[in-house]
Structure 1
Amino acid sequence: MLERPLASYQLVLGTTGLLLGLGLIMVLSASSVLALRVYGNSFEIFLRQGIFAVVGLLAMVIAMRIPLERVRQLARPALVAVVMLIGLTFTPLGMEINGNRNWIPLFAGFNLQPSEFAKLAICLWIADLYTRRHRHLGTPRYVITPVVPIAGAVSALVVFQKDLGTAVIMFAIIAGLLWVAGLPLKPMLGFGAGLVVLLLFFVATAQHRVDRFMSFLNPMADPEKSGYQAIKAMMGFARGGFWGLGLGSSRQKWGALPEAHTDFILAVIGEELGLAGSLVVLALFGLLAYTGFRIAHRSRDRFARYLAAGITIWITTQAVINIGMVLGLLPVIGVPLPLISYGGSSMLATLAALGLLANCATTEPGASRALATSRRAKARTKRKAGR
């Protein structure tokens, strides 16, 4: 199966569809109690997520169809646009939610989170830059500059929004693409060490981050405040056992677990679908990561290689961080589980990115021709059916 020209393309679409479908089901289950209490309609949050999914799928289809050369032309304007939107969050137009000032209110209760799109913009910009500089990437200076100063500055803006979780993912994208571009081990280790020091500094300068870090080391030290979410998440997994309590049967979503339908939705999955359901989620993300790196390795297009690597690093890192913090293996830093957690900006950005990843898959050997043949065959079938 993996030898077929469209194997990677179909794997991207398949894993995306399964994760999205599971996410919608679990958002309905995890949010029903909160939605009934806040809106008087247990389906309200699910319906909003459904709207995000439909718009995101449209963005994904467009991203799959647009020529990659045109995507390259959008790289620099996209980065500029994202920086401008992030800047707006520091003006009176910005809005603070849960202590993070990284939102812009739109209409009908919908809000835009520019930092989610910054991850995609950074992937596009770095991929375009390295494609143009491919002859000089053997020199570390051309790999590091201006990627680290500019992309690092954008990430720092996100930190100033008090959104450390998104900034960590952006730093991971930068580090991953430096490695993909061939940065030697010594400067790579130096960059990594500097990044660790910088992150520790950001943690130390905010008391709520210090509290979260200390509760990660010992949640029982403050079980009613900073350690509360981690303890309730572990209780959910413990109740679920291997097969779970059954879909819709979570007790944690009845107000015991904050953010049950967003950052901690995996705990509800573990409680309702058990270890078996959690392992399915892990397997799907693992398959998506494998497929993304496979595309980056096999693609004949330089831009597609870097873009596929960046998107895969982003989604994989975000999934690992979310899963780690829900399991108590990492500090809680407010990162959603891609395609599964509730959130419009995250959904739109992720689906658009996966559309681009599928687009990159068509640059593998024989894939473009096989896709064109498949589309012509489907068109002929439709014409015959319409007669």
Structure 2
Amino acid sequence: MENKTGQFFQENLQKKQEKFKQRINRLRQRRLSILLIIGVLMILSFINMSSAAFYMKPENIKKHFIYILVFFVIYLFIGNIGKLKKFNLTYKVLSDRKINGIILITSIIILFGMFIGGKMGLPFIPKINGAYGWINLGPISIQPAEILKCFFVINMANCLARAEDNDLSEKMTIINAFIYLFIYGVLILAQKDMGTVIHYFAIWLFMIFMSKLKDKWILRLGFLGVILGIGGLTAIYKYASEEGASYKIMRIKSYIDGLFFGNYSDDYGYQVKQSVYAFGSGGLLGKGYANGVQKYSYLPEIHTDFIMATFGEEFGIVGMFLVIGLFFALYHFIIVTGRECKNYFGKYLAMGIGAQIITQVIINIFVAVGLFPVFGLPMPFFSYGGSAMVTMGIALGLIHSMNVE
């Protein structure tokens, strides 16, 4: 009898050890897969920037390479700091109520400070394209609202996780989540940065839809969003015909004219028109590396939000599908990471980061091909700029840390 009992416990222990080994192998394979995708995207990004920025601002190629290195350092640091026993810091620390509160208060102070500084006319908070969204510290420019997307995702993950743990009603879950969106949205909107607010809203919607809400709530929110979208665009289009309409209103009118009537104005729709030309002339296989023409001042500031116009022109539809496929593969591994988390916070954190990345990719590409109005959102990895790279480093570093358990 004792031998049978001992054999049973031995077999049970072996099964547990085998499951543990399998889980460790899955985590290792996922880490390597994510790292491989990131590596390919960084290489393609640098190759594309070398072509896009060479004619206009060759020094941007060097800066872009530095930004890539900054991203990689942040990614490795956040992703592996949990391995150091001295610190013992993992993503789970962010689920603490006090930490969550500190993150929210810090975000409010930074965003409110940006608003006040812009109104006071502080020299290091300049007005760029009508918005007070940047801090200039000598040669370094920082866009706080871009970096704080990670803070917003952490706050939302805590909010939805608490709703699950405390079994809150669906109505209270939406109300609590909306409070976070309202706080961030109003403070960023005060800086007149509508594009970033739209991205925050897209992340919020994605996380809400992936929560415990039933289909009826998702249908209600989706229907309300469609009605508001159609009504808003109609009202804007009508208002834009009047004198005194703002630049942003006129850009949206130009978007509607271009999307439905193929009429891109030279004043407000020039960038989109040239971007569509770039994709069209690229065809299936593209013109070949460095053979694009839009970078020769035809498409202004092509190395920023419209960077994919160069890629589409030189590498064609096939190249674009390669990049989109890589991002969706990255998104897949992020979502799988969330599914395998044993706590609600980890699940929602991964979902939020996945939403943050994939919605930005979709919005940027849709803007470049004329399907969305111009929002001013950079393409992850590809667009020139350090703030976006820092944001990606933090986001993907957290995902890496979730796969080191």
TM-score in terms of structure 1 length: 0.84
User: Does residue 32 of the first structure (1) align with residue 47 of the second (2)?
Assistant: no
Kept in 1, the 8 Å contact 2:286–2:314? The answer is yes
Structure 1 segment 13-32 matched on structure 2, within 5 A: 13-32=35-54
Q: Which residue in 2 is equivalent to 1:359? A: 401
Q: Which residue pairs with 2:361 in the alignment?
A: 319
Distance 1:107 1:196 in 2: 44
Q: Distance in 1 between matches of 2:279 and 2:205?
A: 33
| 1:1-387 alignment, distance < 5 Å | 4-35=26-57, 42=58, 44-65=59-80, 66=82, 67-73=90-96, 74-90=99-115, 91=117, 92-93=121-122, 94-108=125-139, 110-195=140-225, 204=236, 207-219=246-258, 220-362=262-404, 368=405
* Pairs aligned (count): 355
Ranges in structure 1 where 5+ consecutive residues have no aligned partner: 36-41, 363-367, 369-387
After superposition, the Cα gap between the structure-2 partners of 1:64 and 1:71, relative to the gap in structure 1 and judged at 3 Å, is farther
Residue range with higher mean Cα deviation, 347-356 or 59-68: 59-68
In 1, Cα distance between the equivalents of 2:285 and 2:202? Answer: 34
Would you say the 8 A contact 1:243–1:273 is kept in 2?
A: yes
In structure 1, how many angstroms separate the alpha carbons of the residues matched to 2:199 and 2:254?
21
Contact in 2 for aligned 1:138/1:182 (Cα 8 Å):
no
Do the aligned partners of 1:79 and 1:118 also contact (CA within 8 Å) in 2? no
Q: Which amino acid aligns with 1:210?
A: I
Deviation, 1:353, is 0.2
For 2:104 and 2:30, the matched residues in 1 are separated by 28
What is the one-letter code of the residue matched to 1:282? Answer: I
The answer on whether the counterparts of 2:79 and 2:397 sit within 8 Å (CA) in structure 1 is yes
Separation of aligned partners in 2, 1:259 and 1:122: 29
SS at match of 2:370: coil
Is contact 2:27-2:403 (8 Å) kept?
no
1:198 is displaced (CA, Å) by 6.3
Deviation at 1:329, TM superposition (A): 1.6
Q: 1:79 to 1:27 in 2, by over 3 A?
A: farther
Q: Do 2:255 and 2:264's aligned partners in 1 also have CA atoms closer than 8 Å?
A: no
How far the C-alpha of 1:245 sits from its partner, in A, is 2.0
| Contact 1:143 1:181 (8 Å CA) reproduced | no
Deviates more, 1:293-302 or 1:126-135: 126-135
Q: Distance in 1 between matches of 2:129 and 2:263?
A: 23
- Measured against aligned partners, the alpha-carbon deviations of 1:135-186 in whole angstroms (never above 9, x if no partner) come to 3345114412322123222122222322222111111221222222212333
Task: Report the 3-state secondary structure (helix = DSSP H, G, I; strand = E; otherwise coil) of the residue aligned with 1:105.
Answer: strand
User: What runs of 5+ residues in structure 2 fail to find an aligned partner?
Assistant: 1-21, 83-89, 240-244
CA contact (8 A) 2:70 2:389 kept: no
Letter of the 1:361 partner, please give it.
N
1:104 and 1:112 in contact (8 A); partners too: yes
Asked whether the 8 Å contact 1:319–1:338 carries over to 2, the reply is: yes
The answer to which of 53-62 and 112-121 deviates more is 53-62
Tell which deviates more after alignment, 160-169 or 277-286: 160-169
Q: What is the rounded CA distance, in whole Å, between the counterparts of 1:125 and 1:195 in structure 2?
A: 23
| Shift in CA distance, 12/346, structure 1 to aligned 2, threshold 3 Å | same
Which moved further from structure 2: 99-108 or 335-344?
99-108
Question: Which amino acid is 2:28 matched to?
Answer: L
* Larger-Rg structure: 2
Corresponding residue number in structure 1 for 2:12? none
Secondary structure in structure 2 of the residue aligned to 1:100: coil
Contact 2:305 2:379 in 1 (8 A): yes
Aligned residues of 2:164 and 2:212 also touching (Cα < 8 A): no
The separation in 1 between residues aligned to 2:103 and 2:288, in whole angstroms, is 43
